[in-house]
Amino acid sequence: MVKNKRTEEDFKSGQVLLIDKPLTWTSFQVVNKLRWHIRKTFNIKKIKVGHAGTLDPLATGLLIICTGKFTKKINEYQAQTKEYTGTITLGATTPSYDLETEINKTFPTAHITDELIHKTTTQFIGEIAQKPPIFSAIRKDGKRLYELARVGETTEIKSRLVTIHYFEITKINLPEVAFRISCSKGTYIRSLAYDFGLALNSGGHLSKLRRTKIGNFSVDDAVTPLAFVEDL
Residues known to be catalytic: 56
| Residue 105: count of CB within 10 angstroms of its CB | 11
Closest C-alpha to 81, from 185, 180, 206:
185
- Of residues 88, 56, 60, 61, the one with CA closest to residue 169: 88
Amino acid at the residue 23: L
Q: Is 60 helix (H, G, I), strand (E, B) or coil?
A: strand
- Reduced to 3 states (helix: H, G, I; strand: E, B; else coil), residue 132 is coil
Cis peptide before 175 (omega within 30 of 0): yes
Helix or strand (DSSP H, E) at 167: strand 160-173
- φ, ψ dihedrals at 68, nearest 5°: 55, -135
